[in-house]
Amino acid sequence: MSQNTTDQSIYFRCNFCYSHLNAEADLAKSKIACPYCHRRVTVPKPSLDRGYLMKDWEVVRLLGQGSMGEVYEVSNSSGKRGAMKVVHQDCMSEEETQYLQDEAQILLKLRHKNIVKVHEAGFDGLQYFFVQELVLGRNTGSTLKKYGAFKQLEAFRICRDVASAMQYLWEEAKIIHRDIKPDNIMLSREGVVKLMDLGVGMTQEQAQTQGYGAGTPYYMSPEMIQKPALCDFRTDIYSLGISLVEMLSGSKPYMAADRNTVFDKILSEDVKLSALPCSDEGKRAIAKLIHRNYKKRPASWAECVAMFDLILEKGVQGNAKKEVQYIYDLGQDKAFMAKYYALLISFFVALLILIYVVI
């Protein structure tokens, strides 16, 4: 059975600035003003109603919606909770459909501490779905909006763990993620970095022959836009580098009102790194990650991990515990923690009353 919840909000993204938004369920199909770009956007209506069963998974609520499908919170008959992404078949070609069937079997076997586990994947009628673990915490995108830019060591530590996860994916299955960005990097309550949304990933061969249908414009590499046949793991390295710039500066390096203008900037403008609040060594590392010539980026994910480790080793100098604690704090679900501390306070009050009565 599904978890009991009173949250009937609809979570979605602005069609213009791609910001995460939410609205009450009764506003579905209505237009509201985006608080970030101030344009009028339509609140989407979920394709699947609350209680809908996809195999053994029951829909609890809509968590997000994009051009290719939706993400729902779900639970199964044993009470396990998950996040289910549903991709509509009319968004896929026959080749992509066959690929996803093969890819589902790969995703189920992946096991890495920094990768969200996939519980089940497959087809239900004309819809492809995959259910991954529901990570309680906050993604780095929402953390940026709430708290602002990360400190250098915090940002590099998070990206180091993402690079480690991508090294595993590449070495195990030659998988290209295709959509690395702050919104897909979770900080769990326990302070663990988790890479999400592997269901849009492709093998190198698939990406080179079919191109990049997925991806978020702000984080796409030049070859991703112009020459998909050149795409390999270095395309994801570029996206991680752009995400790192955003985490350090608090804003996306390539901003524009429409997709094509963003692409024009990516293809013609260098990211300004001089004002980034990090060391010269950090800036040199970032410059290598986001080089417009993919041949001049790191030659492997292992090289990226080693580069991040070196920066962290030089910069931490005994502050590792403090940095990890900060990331842990950012990953906390404040509503959960409020209930936890309220319960703890109630316990101590009851204990004091008991001691007073006994005395």
Mean pLDDT, rounded, for 242-266: 94
Per-residue pLDDT band at 8 (split at 50, 70, 90)? low
Q: List domains and CATH numbers for the chain.
A: 9-133 (3.30.200.20), 137-330 (1.10.510.10)
Please indicate whether residue 99 or residue 27 has the higher confidence score (pLDDT).
27
What are phi and psi for residue 175, nearest 5 degrees? -90, 135
Average pLDDT, the chain: 82
Tokens, residue 44: 């989407």
Who wins on pLDDT, 145 or 319?
145
Q: pLDDT tens for residues 17-58?
A: 767 788 887 888 889 999 888 889 888 888 888 899 988 999
Separation CA 136–CA 113 (nearest Å) = 15
The Cα angle at residue 286 between residues 280 and 290, in degrees rounded to 5: 145
pLDDT of residue 319: 47
What is the tens place of the pLDDT at every residue in 332-342?
544 445 555 56
pLDDT given at position 280: 93
Query: How big is the CA angle at 312 (ends 144 and 299), to the nearest 5 degrees?
Result: 90
**Per-residue model confidence (pLDDT) at position 11:** 75
Classify residue 211 as left (phi > 0), alpha (psi -120 to 50) or beta: left
Q: What is the pLDDT of residue 339?
A: 56
pLDDT at 136: 86
pLDDT of residue 88: 73
Closest CA to 297 of 224, 246, 247: 224
In this predicted structure, what is the pLDDT of residue 69?
Answer: 77
- The pLDDT of residue 217: 92
Q: Which residues are CB-neighbours of 196 under 8 A, at least 6 positions away?
A: 116, 132, 135, 139, 184, 185, 186
Please state, for a pLDDT cut of 70, what percent of the chain lies above it: 79
Per-residue confidence (pLDDT) for residue 12, from 0 to 100: 76
Residue 216: strand, helix, or coil? coil
Which tops the pLDDT comparison, 29 or 247?
247
- Percent of the chain at pLDDT > 90 equals 44
Highest mean pLDDT of the ranges 5-14, 23-32, 137-146, 314-323? 137-146
Q: Give mean pLDDT, residues 82-109.
A: 76
Comparing CA positions, the residue from 55, 72, 54 lying closest to residue 63 is 72
Residues 147-197 pLDDT 10s: 999 999 999 999 999 999 999 999 998 889 989 999 999 999 899 999 987
Q: Which ranges of the chain would DSSP assign to H, the alpha helix?
A: 94-109, 140-147, 152-173, 204-210, 222-226, 233-249, 259-268, 280-289, 301-316, 320-330, 334-358
Residue 221: exposure state from Cβ atoms within 10 A (0-12, 13-18, ≥19)? buried
% helix, strand, coil for the chain, step of 5:
45, 20, 35
